[in-house]
Structure 1
Amino acid sequence: MAMASITSSFLNLQKNILEISVQTCITQQIRGKKRLNIPKLRYPTWFVRKERVLHDEKISQENSEFIKDVISEKFGPPAIIGGIQTYNTPLKTEPLKSVEWTPGLRRTGTIAKKIGIYPMWLKDGTKISTTLLQIVDNHVVKYIPPDEYHQTRERVIKIRGTPKGCVLVGAESDDPSLYTREYCGLFEKSGLPPKKFLARFFISPSAALSPGTPLTALHYRVGDYIDVRGKTVDRGFQGVIKRWGFKGGRASHGTTKTHRRPGNIGGGGEKGRVWPGTKMPGHMGNTWRMLKGLKIWRINTKYNVLWVSGQNVPGSTNSYVYIYDTILPSKPVTNPPFPTHVDKPDEVLPENIYDEEVHRFSDPTITFQPE
């Protein structure tokens, strides 16, 4: 008994010493006295494991249909492709009200799916290329005020000089039985079904939205400029010709085995080394990239589709991207729907909204004037 008590006390002493040493190391690292290899928080606080291991071999067809009926009764029918499902969440007690917008305020963004490219023509005959981005079933899951969000962080996130809060947005509702209990717990308070994709957006406190608020394509306006962030297509290991656009060697007489090689990569004399940043073969793609200042030419209100300028939006077809209001000072956003679009009871919106410069196919292309 005496030996067991001594062993337990020794283990407790070791545990206390370890906790004190770890706390001291963290304090020294925060104060900048010492740089230690302490692992950083890789994922935010709301991140949990999403997918679960499916074992459906013991579930009969009747039970699976019963589960679908229960999910439909709790959350309603699934949203149509591109549509928005409105949920009666317990936290959404008051109707959404518009707030007066002032320069410097930041509102939330949206999650969209890249569904392809499409040509358009302007009224002067110019042909432009556009990319179609579909905002699929976006809802606000959670809002964290600035004080609460920055309690566990050393650096306060400031955009345009003022502290910002954090809003969690989810896209594309899915079957709760396909996800873990911890992941489904993120949506329990908001009364939403689990979402396939989540994103954080830093916003001004005056742009806060209650959980369950839907975000549609009318969150933006035709003629505004946006920034689109996505992950580029993974090309794997590629050479310098495909990766960097090198011309390559000669194909004529006298060239041997150097047709697609980079050539000389070092300097001569005292600088005989490879400089950092030299364009070399390597992994191509699978990196985050943001395109700024893309103009919205057309909006489809039925399927929540945006036609934005350019066809180099990062990502492959059916990949997801994040849309923000542009931060370019040369293309400022003036008086947007703040904090988001508010549906009016007597308002009837057209299915397609075009920019003034875009030619509509329903309009005549040739007009005749009397002599």
Structure 2
Amino acid sequence: MYFMKDNLLMQRSGLLARKLGMTRVYDDAGNHIAVTVLDLQGCQVVAQKTPERDGYAALQLGSGEAKVKRVSKAERERFGKAGVTPKQKLVEFRVSPDNMIEVGAAMSAEHFVPGQKIDASGITVGKGFAGAMKRHNFGGLRATHGVSISHRSHGSTGQCQDPGRVFKGKKMAGHMGAVRRTLQNLTVARVDAEEGLVLVHGHVPGSKGAWIELRDAVKGVKATDLPMPGKFTMDAPKASKAKAAPAADAAASKGEEE
């Protein structure tokens, strides 16, 4: 997020969360609103990028618990030096040098406040191979008057002898979805610091289980009452009850490691 404070341009870190699905909650007036539930899953600061060493200022955040046996030795050593458990997903967030957070800090859901505007980025749901009507909202060909079989085709895609080719980028049938998209100016409905959940009004890109990057909105009115450089603790994050692994699976994985 950017906002003017003492004539300086400030930028906070974002959060890395996993999409659990959608549900509904009720506001103070008794109206129900559709929200997307995002789980931080032990989001922690894994590394710092400094202008002196790396040429830019950023924080590398990790989320999700990865199996140790599936992590390379070099990565295990890196996580060990940071004092964090191996993470499934790592993402960098650009920050201003004044908003650095210590390595090993566990990010809290209260990093965002209810009513705040945020931007959510993720990989959209893959649709596979789709026709031009579904992929680009084409109208299709006529139902009669000489059209047979090709009612849902995209029609002509080029010209005659000159230039005699199809231009790059022409809207045609092809792979649909599974691309990175960002929804801007979403509203934070609620936060649950104890469970590590952020509830966002509306939908966000991605299917259930997708990784979502949350950042302060870059457009519109900027909030000025946000925690700086963020809301975090130096204690190890607790396992989320929403996606806690069954005890049987935990025992089995422990037996495999032994």
Give the TM-score, by structure 2 length.
0.79
**2:213 equivalent in structure 1:** 322
Give the TM-score, by structure 1 length.
0.56
Contact persistence 1:262–1:280 (CA under 8 A) = yes
**1:248 equivalent in structure 2:** 140
Contact persistence 1:243–1:284 (CA under 8 A) = yes
Unmatched tracts of structure 2, length 5 or more? 234-258
**2:193 equivalent in structure 1:** 301
**1:339 equivalent in structure 2:** 229
Unmatched tracts of structure 1, length 5 or more? 1-99, 151-163, 344-371
- Within the candidate set 125, 137, 143, 2:48 is matched to 143
Matches within 5 A, 1:218-367: 218-252=110-144, 254-266=146-158, 274-311=166-203, 313-328=204-219, 330-341=220-231
Alignment CA distance shift 1:316-1:275 (3 Å): same
**2:23 equivalent in structure 1:** 118
Matches within 5 A, 1:1-371: 104-122=9-27, 128-150=33-55, 164-252=56-144, 254-266=146-158, 274-311=166-203, 313-328=204-219, 330-341=220-231
Deviation at 1:234, TM superposition (A): 2.1
Alignment CA distance shift 1:339-1:101 (3 Å): farther
**What is the RMSD of the two structures over their aligned residues, measured on CA atoms?**
2.5
Following the alignment from structure 1 to structure 2, what is the Cα–Cα distance between the partners of residues 122 and 191? Answer: 40
Counterpart residue type for residue 182 of structure 1: A
Contact persistence 2:62–2:91 (CA under 8 A) = yes
Contact persistence 2:108–2:232 (CA under 8 A) = no
Higher percent of residues as helix: 1
Alignment CA distance shift 1:127-1:280 (3 Å): farther
Contact persistence 1:149–1:166 (CA under 8 A) = no
1:255-304 Cα distance to aligned partner (Å, 9 max, x none): 30111101233357967764443211112122111111111011223322
Following the alignment from structure 1 to structure 2, what is the Cα–Cα distance between the partners of residues 128 and 267? Answer: 50
Query: Looking at CA atoms only, which structure, 1 or 2, has the larger radius of gyration?
Result: 1
1:170-215 Cα distance to aligned partner (Å, 9 max, x none): 1123332331211112112111111111111111111111111000
Deviation at 1:342, TM superposition (A): 5.5
SS in 1 for 2:92: strand
1:225-274 Cα distance to aligned partner (Å, 9 max, x none): 11111111222222111211222233346430111101233357967764
Alignment CA distance shift 1:119-1:251 (3 Å): farther
Q: Figure out how many residues of one structure are paired with residues of the other and give that number.
A: 229
1:295-328 Cα distance to aligned partner (Å, 9 max, x none): 10112233222221222x2111111111111111
Contact persistence 1:298–1:306 (CA under 8 A) = yes
Alignment CA distance shift 1:306-1:342 (3 Å): closer
| Greater Cα offset, 116-125 or 195-204 | 116-125
Alignment CA distance shift 1:258-1:342 (3 Å): closer
Alignment CA distance shift 1:342-1:229 (3 Å): closer
Deviation at 1:101, TM superposition (A): 8.8
Q: What is the aligned-residue identity percentage?
A: 31
Contact persistence 1:325–1:333 (CA under 8 A) = no
SS in 2 for 1:182: helix
Counterpart residue type for residue 104 of structure 1: L
